[in-house]
Structure 1
C-alpha cells in the first residue's frame, strides 16, 4: 500500500498542468546541454522511474503510456471533483485509481462486505435477512446438497468466480477449504480450470450466475465440451432475477448453451428435484449444466421419480391441451392447469427437466393425441425449449400434424423490476397465460 507525504506530493505534481509543462521544459533544457545533455536526461529518467516504481502503484500503466492518478479517497467528494477537473487538462489516456469501502457508514456491511453484494429486506440492527417465509432458497438448497455430496465423494470440488456467498458455497468453503477454489472475477479461467481438474479425475462443480457464464462461452466449447469432460455447471439466477436489473437477467443461457454439442442441460422443477439432479450429475461422465432460479425453492411434489437420461416427467394427464415447461415455469404450469380446470379444460403438464436432449419419444406420442401444445419458458423465445421442439417436429415432417404455441420473453433486454411485475408485463404470469390459452381455444 503506497501512502504518505511523498506519494501524495507526486500525485499532486501529476495533476497540475503547470507542473506537467514545467517537467517537459526541464527535460528539453537538459537534453540541450552540449555533449552530456542526452546522457544527463537518461540518468534523470532512470532515477525518476526507480522512485516511481517504489512509490507509485501505477507504474505499470505509465509503461503502457497511460497517465496514472491515485489512489484517491472515493468518499471525499471535493478530492474527487479536484482530481476530475485537473485530469481533464492532461493529454492522452488517463487512469484514476479511486479507493472506496464497500458498505461505508454501515459497520455490519463494512465488516462483511460480500454479504451485501445484492440484498433484499434485512434487519438494520443485526444485518440479518428478513424472509417472508421459512423456505430456503434454491441457492441455499444447492449449497447444502453440495456439502452432503462432498462428504460422500472426496473427488468433488467446488469452484466460484468471486461469489462464494452469492452462490451459497460459503458453507462448502468452511467444511472443505482444500476442495474449494475462488478464482476471482474470471469466469473464463474458472471453466478452463474446471476442465483441467476433470482431466485429473476430479469432479468439479462450477457455481456461477447465468449472466456471468456467457463470458466463458468459448471455454465451455473448446476446453470442456469438445473433450467431453465431466464438468458440472451450476447456473444460479437463471431466468428473471428482478431487482438486480437488466444486466443480471438470466434469459439467454438456454439459447447459447443449446448450440453446444456434448452438453446436457437440465432444470429442476423444485428443491427436491434440484437435489436429485445434483446426485445425477455426480455420476454423469460428460459435461452437464443445471439451471435454477433466484428465490425460494418450492416443493411441488414429495415423490421423486428416478431420473432417466433424456426423459421428461408427466405430472398430470389431460385430454384437451398439453403444457410443456421447465424449471420455475413448471410451478406456473400447475397453477395454469388448475385455473383452466374451472373452465372445463383438461391439461396435461409435462416437466421438461431435460432441455438437451429433449424427450423425442414423448413428443412423438403427443402427435397421436391431437392436443395443442403450449410451451412456457423463462428464456428468450429463440433457442429455448420451444425452438428445440419445433425443430424436432420440422425435421420429422410432423409440423403439419400438430399445433404449437410458444410463450417466452421477446428478444430484448428485460429491465429492472419485481419478478412478478415483469412476468405480467411480458405475458408470462399465470393470469396472462390462462387468458391466452382460453382465447386461443375459443
Structure 2
C-alpha cells in the first residue's frame, strides 16, 4: 500500500480487498456479510454485558472495528499470532471474565493445540467465533474453511454450533453469553438468510441441512415435494454434541440425507452415522459434502456447482436416493 494514502492510513483494511474506487478508497459494491452481523451484535451486547473480544490481526475483516472503537479497554488485537490469541483468551477466562475470540476458519487450523490444552482441558467458557466457515470465494485452496468441523469434533466437551440463519445465529450468540463450557460458533462469509423453516410431511426420507447449506437443501426439498415426492426437512445448527431429540427423530425414517459445507471425512454426516450406530438404529444415509480433495479458486456458486452441491444437483442426488432401494 505504499504510495496510496488510504492504504498507508489503514493498512489492515487494505490487506485483502476487492475492486474499489481509487479516488475515495471505497469498494465498488458493498458485500453484506454474516461477520458484519456478528460484529454489530457484539457492539450492542457490549453495552449490557461485560466481556472481552480478541482477534489476531483481523479487526476489520471480522467486523470487530465497531466494538474496538466503542470498548477499547475490552478489545485486544494480538497481531498475527493465532495460537497466542487462544492462550490469551484462556487466561482471561480463568479470571472469570467472558471472552470471545474471532478467527477465520483457515487460521483456526494453527490453534488446535491451544484449544485442546489451554481451553477445553481446562473447561474454560471461551467462545470461538469462526468466520469464513465453508467455501470462501476467491481465496484459493489455502483459505477454504472446510476442515474445522472434522478436527474440532475430536476434542472432548467442546460444543460446535453452525447457525443456519441470522435469527438462529443471534439466538446462539445470546445463549453463548452465558455458556459455562468451551463453544464454537462457525458461520460463512456470505450473509445467511433471515430464517429457514422445517418441512413436515410425515415422509419416509428426511433431509438434514447443516448451517450454511440449510437454505439450499430446503429449496431442493420444496421443489421435490411440489413434484409429488414426500420429503421432510430439518435445518440443523449443532454438530457436537448431536441433539438427542434429533437422533430420536431419525429413528422414524427409512432414509436420511445429510448435507454440509465441509469435508465429509469426520464431518457432520459422519457424526450422524456414529450416533445412529450407538443408538442401534440403521437408516440408509446419504452424506452430501466436500470429498477428500483440495478446493481451487472460484466463487462459492462456481465451487458448489463443481462439487455437485448446488441446488440443482442436490435435487438430483436426493431424487436418485429417494427412488433407489
User: Normalising TM by the smaller chain, what interval?
Assistant: over 0.9
**1:378 aligned partner:** 261
Query: Cα gap change, 1:295/1:124 in structure 2, threshold over 3 Å: closer, same or farther?
Result: farther
Aligned positions of 1:4-403 closer than 5 A: 103-131=1-29, 136-154=32-50, 156-300=51-195, 315-318=198-201, 319-370=203-254, 372-399=255-282, 402-403=283-284
1:263-284, Cα deviation, whole Å (9 max, x unpaired)? 0000111222212111110011
Higher helix share: 1
Give the alignment's TM-score, normalised by structure 2.
0.95
- Number of residue-to-residue matches in the alignment: 322
Shift of 1:131: 3.5
Query: Cα gap change, 1:368/1:338 in structure 2, threshold over 3 Å: closer, same or farther?
Result: closer
Query: Cα gap change, 1:297/1:105 in structure 2, threshold over 3 Å: closer, same or farther?
Result: farther
Q: For 1:130 and 1:328, how far apart are their aligned partners in 2?
A: 26
The answer as to whether partners of 1:373 and 1:403 remain within 8 angstroms in 2 is yes
Gaps of 5+ in 2: none
State which structure, 1 or 2, has the greater radius of gyration over its C-alpha atoms: 1
Aligned positions of 1:407-422 closer than 5 A: 407-422=288-303
Shift of 1:242: 1.6
Gaps of 5+ in 1: 1-102, 302-313
Aligned positions of 1:418-429 closer than 5 A: 418-429=299-310
Q: For 1:269 and 1:362, how far apart are their aligned partners in 2?
A: 16
Misfit runs of 4+, over 6 Å: none
Q: For 1:297 and 1:330, how far apart are their aligned partners in 2?
A: 10
Query: Cα gap change, 1:121/1:336 in structure 2, threshold over 3 Å: closer, same or farther?
Result: farther
Q: For 2:307 and 2:110, how far apart are their aligned partners in 1?
A: 26
1:249-297, Cα deviation, whole Å (9 max, x unpaired)? 0000000000100100001112222121111100111100000000223
Considering only aligned residues, what root-mean-square deviation do their CA atoms show, in Å? 1.6
Give the alignment's TM-score, normalised by structure 1.
0.70
The answer as to whether partners of 1:141 and 1:297 remain within 8 angstroms in 2 is no
Q: For 1:176 and 1:425, how far apart are their aligned partners in 2?
A: 43
Shift of 1:132: 6.5
